[in-house]
C-alpha cells in the first residue's frame, strides 16, 4: 500500500528522502520503501514522522485528509 500523504507532505515541504531517512536513521532506500508500502511502517517510525511533520498518524496512513 502506497502512502500518498506521506510522500505528498514531504514533497510539499521540499524535503528529500535522504534527509528524512537520516532523521529516522535508515537508508534512503528503506525510507523509499516505507513510502511505497514495500516495507510496513512501524509504530515507532509513524510516531517520529507524525511528530516531525506535526500531523496525525491517521493522516500519514491515508486514513484521513485532515492533517490535524
- 3-state SS, the chain, equals CCCHHHHHHHHHCCCCHHHHHHHHCCCHHHHHHHHHCCCCCCHHHHHHHHHHHCCCHHHHCCCCCCCC
- Please report whether residue 68 resides in a domain: no
Give the pLDDT confidence of 44-68 residue by residue, as tens digits. 999 999 999 999 999 999 898 888 8
For the cut 90, the answer to whether the pLDDT of residue 1 exceeds it is: no
CATH of the domain at 48: 1.10.260.40
Distance of CA 31 to the CA centre of its chain: 8
What pTM, to 2 d.p., does this model score? 0.88
Domain span at residue 9? 4-60
- Please report whether residue 37 resides in a domain: yes
Give the pLDDT confidence of 29-40 residue by residue, as tens digits. 999 999 998 999
Looking at every residue in the chain, the average pLDDT score rounds to: 94
Amino acid at each position: 500500500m502506497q502512502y500518498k500523504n506521506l510522500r505528498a507532505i514531504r514533497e510539499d515541504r521540499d524535503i528529500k528522502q535522504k534527509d528524512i531517512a537520516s532523521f529516522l536513521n535508515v537508508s534512503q532506500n528503506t525510507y523509499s520503501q516505507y513510502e511505497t508500502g514495500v516495507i510496513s511502517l512501524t509504530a515507532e517510525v509513524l510516531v517520529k514522522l507524525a511528530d516531525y511533520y506535526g500531523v496525525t498518524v491517521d493522516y500519514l496512513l491515508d486514513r484521513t485528509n485532515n492533517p490535524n
